[in-house]
Structure 1
Amino acid sequence: MTVSIRPPVAADYVAIAAWIPDAVACVRWAGPQLAYPFDPEQLPQLLQVQPGASFALCQSDGDLLGFGQYRLRQPGVAHLCRIIIAPEARGRGLGKILCRQLMEEASRTAMAQAATLRVYRDNPAARAVYAELGFIAVEAESTVDVLWMQKKISRAG
């Protein structure tokens, strides 16, 4: 399967909104600043990250498979956020592909040399993906519920 990232379009946001079933899922995905329910047409503005960028993960036929963002926390450090894979596409390694491509994009366009992210401790699937990508937990930056992870970005991602 050939996949790539591209800037999201309006139809992507409608699909992403359908992947968020309730307020709890919304907070876990987007954080407390995105109130549920939300208007899918307003998601581009509600999810805007500055400085940073949003991307849709798509199959070669254009089917939307996922969404993710990075924002620059400080020069050289990209924070991956709002990572989500379409429910019907989960379990196929797409989260890892999306994160790799986000890091490559952040390295290429923003000169990022490191990446960080947050993951809920009770999300073993996501934690495993991030560990396989080389992210290491930083307990000093973590909370009881959320694990802070970081890694250096190499040219290979």
Structure 2
Amino acid sequence: MTVSLRLPVAADYAVISGWIADAAACARWAGPQLAYPFDPGQLPQLLQVQPGASYVLCQGDADILGFGQYRLRQPSVAHLCRIAIAPQARGRGLGKTLCSLLLAEAVRAHGVAAASLRVYRDNPAARAIYAGLGFVEVEAESTPEVLWMHAQLSCAGPATPLPAAGAATSS
């Protein structure tokens, strides 16, 4: 399956909001600053990251499979956040694809050399994805509920632009 990253458009946020079932899921995905329920039309403003970027993972023009963001913590460190895969698309390796494409875009756009993220300790699927991408746990920055993870990126510096606006193949 060929997937790509693109900037989200207004209609995408209605789809993404349908993936968030309740207040607990909302807090785990977006943090305590996003109150549930929320107006999907307000999500572009509510989820804005500065400096950073929001992307959707899609197959073709209409099939939205995931959403993710990165923000710059420092000039050379991208922080992945608000990663979500559509419920019907989970278990197909798309989380890893989405994160890989987000990291590649952060390298291309900002020349980052490292990345960080937070993940709930009770989310073994996400932890495995991140470990598979080279992220390691940093206990000193973690809490009993949430792990801080960090990765050095081997592709630091300006990279070749992603083909077809971020096209990738996932099996």
TM exceeding 0.5? yes
Question: 1:35-57 CA distances to partner (integer Å, 9 max, x unpaired)?
Answer: 00000000000000000000000
1:38 is paired with a residue whose SS is coil
- CA RMSD in angstroms, aligned pairs only: 1.3
Letter in 1 for 2:109: T
1:112 is paired with a residue whose SS is coil
Question: 1:88-118 CA distances to partner (integer Å, 9 max, x unpaired)?
Answer: 0000000000000000000010111100000
Residue 114 of structure 1 corresponds to which residue in structure 2? 114
Question: C-alpha distance in 2, partners of 1:80/1:139?
Answer: 18
Count of residue correspondences = 157
Question: C-alpha distance in 1, partners of 2:99/2:60?
Answer: 18
1:32 is paired with a residue whose SS is coil
Correspondence list, 1:6-155, <5 A: 6-155=6-155
Question: C-alpha distance in 2, partners of 1:25/1:80?
Answer: 18
Residue 169 of structure 2 corresponds to which residue in structure 1? none
- The percent of aligned pairs where both chains have the same amino acid is 73
Contact 2:113 2:155 in 1 (8 A): no
Contact 2:29 2:84 in 1 (8 A): yes
Q: Structure 1: give runs of 5+ residues left out of the alignment.
A: none
| 4+ aligned runs moved over 3 Å, structure 1 | none
Contact 2:66 2:84 in 1 (8 A): yes
Say which structure, 1 or 2, has more relative contact order (CA 8 Å, 6+ apart): 2
User: What TM-score results when the alignment is normalised by the length of structure 1?
Assistant: 0.97
User: What TM-score results when the alignment is normalised by the length of structure 2?
Assistant: 0.90
